[in-house]
Amino acid sequence: MIKYIKIYDLIGFKICWALCAFCTIWEMPYLGPLATLLFIIIHLYIVSFNSRDIKVICLAILCGLLMDSFFSYFSFINYKGGVLADLSLAPLWILSMWAGFSVTMLYTLDSISNKYFYASLIGFFGGPLSYNAGVQIGSLTITSNLSYFLLAIGWGLIIPFLFMVINKLKK
């Protein structure tokens, strides 16, 4: 089963991402995080509860909490769905996306784990595009072009940082 981990992680994350984004507009903001929790538990079971994976998932959630709470608190992004969003903090569904994405980074994207420049480019362009998809779905609102630029900078720094941590924990 472990030889299929890349496919499982890629497909599982995409399903969880969509559930997290759509469940906010379906007024069931905790369904996506529950599905993501199940996805991560199955992933961890497949990799025999690898401590590196657990550490990276926790670190990614912390990065998401800090970055998305910053965006929410300063009204760069308005999130829908859940108690945390009402408190201007990163909602549980977006933190679940961070956790799911970190799992994808561990195996599916491992071929770029040492290519920090490319990782930065993926974050710089992919981060804002992902949030824009959330805007199109209706799960969040981006308040200005500056918000997109700040997202690009944030993701452009966080992706290589997480890969550096992943590489350090491999040793």
pTM as predicted: 0.94
Q: Report residue 128's pLDDT band, with 50, 70 and 90 as the boundaries.
A: very high
Would you put residue 88 in left (φ > 0), alpha (ψ -120 to 50) or beta?
Answer: left
Percent of the chain with pLDDT over 90: 89
pLDDT attached to residue 51: 94
3-state secondary structure the chain: CHHHHHHHHHHHHHHHHHHHHHHHHCCCCCHHHHHHHHHHHHHHHHCCCCHHHHHHHHHHHHHHHHHHHHHHHCCCEEECCCHHHHCCCCCHHHHHHHHHHHHHHHHCCHHHCCCHHHHHHHHHHHHHHHHHHHHHHCCEEECCHHHHHHHHHHHHHHHHHHHHHHHHHHC
Mean pLDDT for the stretch of residues 147-158: 98
pLDDT attached to residue 43: 95
Residue 1 has pLDDT above 70, yes or no: no
Residue 53 has pLDDT above 80, yes or no: yes
Mean pLDDT for the stretch of residues 139-164: 97
Identify residue 59 by its one-letter amino acid code.
L
